[in-house]
Amino acid sequence: MTDTAHTRRTIPDRLGTKTSRILASWEVLLFGVAVLIFVFNAFASPYFLDAWNLSDATFNFTEKAMIAFAMALLVIAGEIDLSVAAIIALASTAMGAAAQIGVGTPGLVAIGIGTGLACGAVNGLLVSGLRLPSIVVTIGTMSLFRGISYIVLGDQAYGKYPASFAFFGQGYVAWVFSFEFVLFAVLAILFAILLHATNFGRQVFVIGNNEFAARFSGIPVERVKFVLFLLTGVMSGIAAVCLTSRLGSTRPSIAQGWELEVVTMVVLGGVSILGGAGTIGGVVIAAFVMGLVTFGLGLLNVPGIVMSIFVGLLLIITIAVPIIARRIREMR
Amino acid sequence: MPLRTQPIGTESTSVTVPILEMRGISQIFPGVKALDGVDIRLYPGQVTALIGENGAGKSTLVKILTGIYRPNEGEILIDGKPVAFAGAQAAIDAGVTAIHQETVLFDDLTVGENIFLGHAPRTRFGMIDWRAINSRARDLLQALESEVDPGIRLRDLSIAQRHLVAIARALSVEARIVIMDEPTAALSRKEIDDLFRIIEGLKRQGKAILFISHKFDEVYEIAENFVVFRDGRAVGQGRLRETPQEDIVRLMVGRDVKDVFPKVEVSIGAPVLRVEGFCHPTEFRDISFELRRGEILGVYGLIGAGRSELCQALFGVTRRSAGGLTLEGQPVDIRSSSDAIAAGIVYVPEERGRHGLALPMPIFQNMSLPSLRQTSRRGFLKAAGELALARKYAERLDLRAASLSVPVGTLSGGNQQKVVIGKWLATRPKVIILDEPTKGIDIGSKAAVHGFIGELASEGLSIIMVSSELPEILGMSDRVLVMREGLTAGLFDRQQLNAETLVRAATGNT
């Protein structure tokens, strides 16, 4: 006891050590789950522990995870975008139509991302401009965007993409590392910085925790939300480029049901569905967990419908576990 | 233990038997003993005032009595028989009801539905008996001397009428023990008088009332007995008639409180803010005033006079329909809170938790929120800068917290208010608007907040202080703007200030 001379008490910056806080986090628990699934898969199938097989496995989550990063920010801010898969359909349709009339690869990428941006702007204007609830708005635009795609395509498919367009979904940057996987890694870092290290990210957290207080503290709440919808639209556009390139064709049913898998990934990653809390690191681990599970089940020849049952269960369990755990803690 | 006398019946000479008795109640939370061996007796037809600073254990006691917490030690007896509340419903079944500080009511339900929510009368076939709801609701409201129609939606009622609905709801169960947790916090003097008439009625019906309040004048007016809590212990109880106020204050804070309103003499400088013809479509009209450097302008009026709305319009969160303001001679157009903050006008809201703080977030992140531009570099956060800023203002305001990283929601009301004030001081404002700065804050912290407001004025800050508490307005203000129904009812200098003038202006009685 050396500093007894202080008249006013000094308040420590933090309690406990950094390691103790990290060890108690949801992300560490999730990482443990990922390791378990990895080990289980390795034992269950002799084909699993192969560099190229593992590289293939990453395609199960890279496109969805890109959207999940932006969705995580939206959910933390207390909003949601259920139209993301429909944006993929519309963006892919726009690219397909452009490819038919001979637009080159750079033009196609610009059209794909531009369509995503425009769709995001529609959502953003409806939610932050007219102050409508995002869950209703994006259910509406979900039908709207995919509906346009169905009107344009009917039961047809666009298929004539230029050869160089295949790189985004099928190309490799180095050894087993695909372009998609590298893009996923870069975006993960960029979004982690945006959410956790910038003023913008802090504003997202404050809006999600208390929108009134945010507004009363001078945060441009509507502008931040608009930017988040734009960002989600752009990420959906980028995912559309990758997916269209990988499949080499566009049908209106492309990426059907992805919005739920993206939301599952976000929630599994520890982002509070009520807003205000979450990390990009958690979403990254959740992406690996979902990818490994889908791939492992695929290796074991489990049919697709069982996989969707699994995803549904995963969503319910990840929402239920923290809530039940809190109740048990409170009862003591 | 000092001042412990056996309360006796008020009217008759016979010794009254307590309806409810708590013996040796202790409530232990991790690391804290919230209540430590508390004894309390509540008598039929009598009001017992529960007095104590925030954090003294009053809320914990209320939660035990309403079945939300189960005490670790001790027993509760009703009519001499020990009871144990398994939950909130068990407490209601045992005849305990509570009117909370902020009762949860539902805007889109009718008055009748709000009153009987959860225990609606049923018909023989198990359907909700709407006729009974409305007639019984009307009876309850009439007993409270209110003519509110049970069929209208709560949304359409005034704050005072809502309060009556909350009381009617509490009385709609057959209760013999009524707990009132700071029931007057949001009420004007006239509404308080109405409430006290209701309490007198309840006394005549033989109900036992536990009345929790910070305001001594009210306590002396309505209560027979008192219990003082300090640090989770009942440090004194007895008859109010035999106990002077100074003794209770001493019991409460454990020391003498001499100067409640340390008005610092400040030399008032040049005009800083000039407000001209401020109007709002519905809430206020044609408000003009001037605020000088180092001046404290009190804004007084009844609930609904438009005071908060005026402040929020000055701060840019409520739109004005006409009027303008000049700051240090320059006209400023304030369209949003960020405009106001940039101009140097900040607002400490009345509802701290709702408008002022992100409660689940750490103290330092709340403090740095409006100053992020200063603590960050090119849009990137710098934790060290934020912590340094938070530490500076935490020490200046003598904030009590385990660390700067704990969620603000874990702090007491007084300390939460310090965080809100600190976050605004960090922006180095010229004008600070304080809306009910000591609402829900205990006496010890109140004096600290008042002292601090005086200190800010002496440093040259101009202050607008909205308050419903006359002593606070009278003790702190250099001038007072009185509002009535959205209009200026008077602007008084310190020399003209007295309680009667202000109340007359605020109520319109001449």
**B116 and B153 inside one domain:** yes
Residues in chain A: 332
Give yes or no for A223 touching B (CB within 8 A): no
> CB distance B361–A205 less than 8 Å?
yes
Q: Is it the case that residue A2 has pLDDT exceeding 60? A: no
CA–CA distance, A159 with A166 (Å, rounded to integer): 12
> CB distance B400–A9 less than 8 Å?
yes
Taking CA atoms, what residue in B is nearest to A15? B403
Give yes or no for A331 touching B (CB within 8 A): no
Give the mean model confidence (pLDDT) for residues A97-111: 93
Give yes or no for A201 touching B (CB within 8 A): yes
Confidence of residue A66 (pLDDT cuts 50, 70, 90): very high
Is residue B100 situated within a structural domain?
Answer: no
Give yes or no for B40 touching A (CB within 8 A): no
> CB distance A218–B337 less than 8 Å?
yes
Domain boundary among B393, B410, B428: B428
Residues in chain B: 510
> CB distance B423–A217 less than 8 Å?
yes
DSSP states along B268-303: --SEEEEEEEEE-SSS---EEEEEETT-EEEEE--T
CATH code of B438's domain: 3.40.50.300
CA distance B367 to chain A (A): 10
Total Cβ atoms within 10 A of residue B410: 13
- Considering only CB atoms, which chain A residues are within 8 Å of B354? 210, 212-213
CA–CA distance, B355 with A172 (Å, rounded to integer): 51
Tens-digit pLDDT profile for residues A109-131: 999 999 999 999 999 999 998 99
**B194 and B82 inside one domain:** yes
**B154 and B280 inside one domain:** no
pLDDT value, residue B4: 43
Partner residues linked to A310 by β-bridges? none
> CB distance A205–B354 less than 8 Å?
no
Domain region containing B502: 259-344+431-510
pLDDT by 10s per residue, chain B, length 510? 444 444 443 444 345 788 999 999 998 876 567 888 999 999 999 999 998 766 678 888 998 998 888 898 999 999 988 988 888 888 888 889 888 766 678 888 999 888 888 778 888 888 888 888 888 889 888 877 778 888 889 888 877 778 788 888 888 887 889 998 887 766 777 778 888 888 898 899 889 999 988 677 788 889 999 999 887 888 888 898 888 877 887 787 665 444 456 566 777 888 999 999 999 988 899 999 999 999 999 999 877 788 989 999 999 998 888 988 999 989 999 999 999 999 999 999 988 888 899 999 999 999 999 998 888 888 899 888 999 999 999 988 888 888 898 899 888 778 888 999 999 999 999 999 999 988 777 666 777 788 889 889 988 899 999 988 777 888 889 999 999 888 898 899 888 887 778 877 877 665
Closest C-alpha among B401, B451, B359, A213 to residue B387? B401
Alpha-carbon distances of B290 from A177, B175, B325, B491, rounded to whole Å: 68, 52, 10, 11
Tokens found for residue B208:
């036992």
Tens-digit pLDDT profile for residues A158-191: 988 999 999 998 889 888 899 999 999 999 999 9
Of B358, B361, B370, Cβ closest to residue A218: B370
Residue B268 amino acid letter: I
Give yes or no for A218 touching B (CB within 8 A): yes
Of B357, B381, B404, Cβ closest to residue A210: B357
**B167 and B181 inside one domain:** no
**B189 and B324 inside one domain:** no
Give yes or no for B407 touching A (CB within 8 A): no
- Considering only CB atoms, which chain B residues are within 8 Å of A204? none
Of A9, A12, A216, Cβ closest to residue B356: A216
pLDDT value, residue B210: 94
- Considering only CB atoms, which chain A residues are within 8 Å of B406? 15
Residues 119-138 of B with CB under 8 A from A: none
Domain boundary among B254, B289, B320: B254
First to last CA, chain B: 49
Tens-digit pLDDT profile for residues A22-48: 666 788 888 888 888 888 888 888 877
Tens-digit pLDDT profile for residues A280-303: 999 999 999 888 888 888 877 888
DSSP states along B233-280: EEEEEEEGGGS-HHHHHHHHHSS----S---------SEEEEEEEEE-
Is residue B326 situated within a structural domain?
Answer: yes
> CB distance B402–A198 less than 8 Å?
no
Closest C-alpha among B288, B292, B280, B289 to residue B316? B280
> CB distance B403–A13 less than 8 Å?
yes
Contact criterion met (CB below 8 Å) for B128 and B122: yes
**B148 and B183 inside one domain:** no
Q: What is the pTM of this model?
A: 0.74
The CATH topology of domain A47-331 is: ABC transporter involved in vitamin B12 uptake, BtuC (1.10.3470)
**B247 and B358 inside one domain:** no
CA distance A44 to chain B (A): 43
Mean pLDDT estimate for chain A: 88
Tokens found for residue B332:
């400023």
Q: Is it the case that residue A305 has pLDDT exceeding 90? A: no
CA–CA distance, A105 with A99 (Å, rounded to integer): 8
Is residue B349 situated within a structural domain?
Answer: no
Is residue B101 situated within a structural domain?
Answer: no
**B182 and B196 inside one domain:** yes
How many domains does chain B contain in total? 4
CA distance A209 to chain B (A): 6
**B272 and B244 inside one domain:** no
Give yes or no for A209 touching B (CB within 8 A): yes
**B423 and B436 inside one domain:** no
**B66 and B196 inside one domain:** yes
Give yes or no for A206 touching B (CB within 8 A): yes
Tens-digit pLDDT profile for residues A134-147: 999 999 999 999 99
pLDDT value, residue B14: 44
Which stretch, A48-52, A147-151, B392-396, has highest mean pLDDT? A147-151
> CB distance A14–B365 less than 8 Å?
no
pLDDT value, residue B264: 67
> CB distance B361–A215 less than 8 Å?
no
Of B315, B337, B358, Cβ closest to residue A209: B358
User: What phi, psi does B244 have (nearest 5°)?
Assistant: -70, 155
> CB distance B373–A14 less than 8 Å?
no
Confidence of residue A16 (pLDDT cuts 50, 70, 90): low
Give yes or no for B109 touching A (CB within 8 A): no
Q: What DSSP state is assigned to residue A11?
A: P
pLDDT value, residue B253: 66
Give yes or no for A200 touching B (CB within 8 A): yes
Q: What DSSP state is assigned to residue B362?
A: B
**B10 and B71 inside one domain:** yes
Report domain extents, chain A: 47-331
CA distance A200 to chain B (A): 7
Give yes or no for B26 touching A (CB within 8 A): no
CB burial string B102-128: b at 16+ within 10 A, e below: ebebeeeebbbbbbbeeebeeeeeeee
pLDDT value, residue B227: 93
Domain boundary among B412, B428, B444: B428
Of B338, B376, B395, Cβ closest to residue A220: B338
pLDDT value, residue A1: 36
